[in-house]
Structure formats: structure tokens, C-alpha cells
């Protein structure tokens, strides 16, 4: 099986289209949440993702707040402004679809699990080794894919925990039949925060036991212009350009 792994699209249609085109076809697609928030195309992104074949989709914190199933209290000023705008433009069918997305974690097969934030809490962040230790203790599969931080990262746990870094263009070999466990964030499609403005995604091959971390440029000026034209804070357009 090959899986396309995408997360944190954040209403960035240009980044999503570039990712889907660059990635080509795979047996299945895993969407790790945050389809909306920050960007200017929430309806178009929802409709594009909804029409993809063979997908497993879980919700992110922005999806919950945008759909009105969670309060905005945990959001900072910028996120709050953007999600208020998002909620105001979502069509009723898209809001209902978003509200019905399942929470993670979800087990994909005997080897792979997906979550938005962490396997013990969909809203928790995995930013460091302490976060990773808590996540490993809750993970139910050899490989747990996560998102939420918008920063690519690989943690490996066998006899000890190792941070294998924010990889650039790398391919991880996953020991599905070994004793090791992995936590991997393939990065954000629509709002990268690792200083690289390109869209990020992953391709998992469970037969070859490889996970490739991929970056692809997209029509950034178009996405930025839409944010400004929508009346969203201009800093949201700026941050896309610097990948922060
Ligand atoms: Zn996000």
C-alpha cells in the first residue's frame, strides 16, 4: 500500500492543488486535519478533499472551531480572527460535513495510526522529546503520523528515544517488523512553519517500509493575494511567504 499523507491544509487551495498534482496517484490518502483556518479558500478546500477517493480524514482544532463544535477560547488573536471569518463564509453543507469529521486517533491498519495533535489528545502538541514520550506511551501502532505543529519531525523509540530531526527531502526507513516505534510529522501543506515556504507532504509505502518527506513549491502570490482580498489580516499572507 502507498499512502499520500497530508495535514494542515488551512484553506490554502493553491498549496493543496500543487501537492495533489506533484504527489500523483496512491492507493489511499490520509488527511490529518485542519482543512480550514488562516487561508482564504475554506469551501473550495473542503470540496476538493471531500471528492478525493479512498481517504481517511480526521478533524483538527480549526475544523472543530470553524464548524462550531468547539469554542474559540483556546485560540490566539490571529487564529480567532481568521476562524471567525471562516465560519462566516462556510456554506451550510460544508459546515455540516466539517462538523461530522471524526476525532483522531484512528488506526489505519495493523501498523499505522493517525492523529491531529497527539494519540492521547487530538489538541495536544508534539514539540519536543517530553511531548514525544507521552505520545509514544499512548500510540497503538508502530508508526503514528501526526500534524498540528506544522513542523516536519521524526521521533524514533526503541531502547531509547531519538529525535531524527526535521528532515529535508529525506526518506525514512520504517522497521515495521522490528521493536522500534515512530512518530512522524510530514509537515503542513498550507501553512509551513519550519522556515521553508513550500508545501509539505509525505508518501508512506508500507510494503517497501519507507516514508518519504516531500516539499513542493506552489502559487504563493495567488494564495497571499486571496488572503488580502478577503480582508483577513495581512500578516497571514506574509507568514506564508516566510514559512513561519
Ligand atoms: Zn494546523
Structural domain boundaries of the chain?
Answer: 2-204+216-242
pLDDT for 22 equals 97
Ligand 1 is an ion; its neighbours by CB within 5 Å are 8, 34
Gap from CA of 201 to ligand 1 centroid (Å): 14
Predicted confidence band of residue 169 (pLDDT cuts 50, 70, 90):
low
Nearest to 79 by CA among 64, 94, 92, 69: 64
* Span 176-202, average pLDDT: 93
Gap from CA of 63 to ligand 1 centroid (Å): 9
Gap from CA of 76 to ligand 1 centroid (Å): 13
Q: What is the mean pLDDT of the chain?
A: 95
* Span 195-202, average pLDDT: 96
Gap from CA of 38 to ligand 1 centroid (Å): 9
* Span 119-142, average pLDDT: 97
- How many CB atoms are located within 10 Å of the residue 59 CB? 25
* Span 53-82, average pLDDT: 94
Gap from CA of 177 to ligand 1 centroid (Å): 31
Asked whether residue 170 carries a pLDDT value surpassing 80, the answer given is: no
Gap from CA of 68 to ligand 1 centroid (Å): 17
Q: Which helix (H) or strand (E) holds 157?
A: strand 153-157
Q: Would you say domain 2-204+216-242 falls under CATH 3.60.21.10?
A: yes
Gap from CA of 32 to ligand 1 centroid (Å): 9
- pLDDT tens for 61-74 read 999 999 999 999 99
Asked whether residue 105 carries a pLDDT value surpassing 70, the answer given is: yes
pLDDT for 101 equals 97
Gap from CA of 179 to ligand 1 centroid (Å): 31
Instruction: Cell 509505502: give the residue.
Output: 205
Gap from CA of 109 to ligand 1 centroid (Å): 24
Gap from CA of 77 to ligand 1 centroid (Å): 15
CA 159/CA 144 separation, integer angstroms: 18
* Span 25-46, average pLDDT: 98
CA 62/CA 28 separation, integer angstroms: 24
Predicted confidence band of residue 175 (pLDDT cuts 50, 70, 90):
confident
Per cent of the chain over pLDDT 90 is: 91
pLDDT for 54 equals 86
Amino acid at each position: 500500500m502507498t499512502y499520500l499523507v497530508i495535514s494542515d491544509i488551512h484553506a490554502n487551495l493553491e498549496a493543496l492543488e500543487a501537492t495533489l498534482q506533484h504527489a500523483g496517484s496512491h492507493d489511499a490518502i490520509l488527511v490529518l486535519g485542519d482543512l480550514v483556518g488562516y487561508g482564504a479558500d475554506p469551501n473550495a478546500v473542503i470540496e476538493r478533499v471531500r471528492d478525493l477517493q479512498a481517504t481517511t480524514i480526521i478533524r483538527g482544532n480549526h475544523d472543530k472551531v470553524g464548524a462550531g463544535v468547539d469554542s474559540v477560547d483556546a485560540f490566539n488573536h490571529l487564529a480567532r480572527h481568521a476562524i471567525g471569518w471562516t465560519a462566516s463564509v462556510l456554506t451550510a453543507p460544508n459546515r455540516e460535513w466539517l462538523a461530522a469529521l471524526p476525532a483522531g486517533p484512528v488506526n489505519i491498519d495493523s501498523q499505522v495510526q493517525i492523529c491531529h495533535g497527539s494519540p492521547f489528545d487530538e489538541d495536544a502538541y508534539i514539540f519536543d522529546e517530553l511531548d514525544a514520550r507521552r505520545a509514544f506511551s499512548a500510540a497503538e501502532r508502530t508508526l503514528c503520523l501526526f500534524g498540528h505543529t506544522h513542523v516536519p519531525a521524526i521521533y524514533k523509540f526503541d531502547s531509547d528515544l531519538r529525535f531524527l530531526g526535521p528532515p529535508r527531502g529525506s526518506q525514512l526507513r520504517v522497521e515495521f517488523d522490528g521493536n522500534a516505534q515512530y512518530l512522524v510529522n510530514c509537515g503542513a501543506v498550507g501553512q509551513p512553519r519550519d522556515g521553508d515556504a513550500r508545501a509539505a507532504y509525505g508518501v508512506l509505502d508500507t510494503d517497501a517500509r519507507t516514508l518519504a518527506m516531500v516539499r513542493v513549491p506552489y502559487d504563493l502570490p495567488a494564495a497571499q493575494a486571496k488572503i488580502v482580498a478577503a480582508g483577513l489580516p495581512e500578516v497571514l499572507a506574509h507568514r506564508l511567504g516566510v514559512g513561519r
